Amino acid sequence: MPKFRKDRVAGLIREAIADIVILKIKDPRVLGITITDVRLSADLKTAIVYFSSLTDGKAEEHKQGLESAQGFIRRELRRELDLKYIPELSFFYDTAFDHSLRINKILKDLHPPDSHDD
């Protein structure tokens, strides 16, 4: 299967899951999360869904909320997308945002702003 088709399907799934999480899931454990990426297997039968959150220390709670809503999410995907297979979903916290914050903090600590302007 061409890579561009797989990437296009992954993008559609990411957008659909993001909408489902924001608009249709009432579980407070998923409030405030953002779906950042979806990676599909070559046969499109399994998907790894990455999410992030600005809420510190609640990644595991968010993951549990998403896992508990997995059946609902898959039913909604089946209703919204015209795909032969709706993939099995696995959820993982995306640490890229945390890494970028840490790098920015380190860079600021290396070059503190001047306390006086001469």
Give per-residue pLDDT as tens, 26-83. Answer: 999 999 899 999 999 999 999 999 999 877 778 899 999 999 999 999 999 999 998 8
Helix boundaries (H) for 39-82:
59-68, 70-80
- 79 Cβ neighbours under 8 A, 6+ residues apart: none
Chain position carrying tokens 């709670």? 61
Give the residue from 59, 53, 50, 40 showing the smallest Cα distance to 1.
40
Q: pLDDT at residue 118 above 60?
A: no
- For the segment(s) 3-110, the CATH number from 3.40.50.1860, 3.40.50.720, 3.30.300.20, 3.30.1490.100 is 3.30.300.20
Q: List the domain boundaries for the chain.
A: 3-110
Query: Which whole-number Å values give the CA distances from 13 to 9, 16, 69, 70, 83, in the listed order?
Result: 6, 5, 15, 13, 10
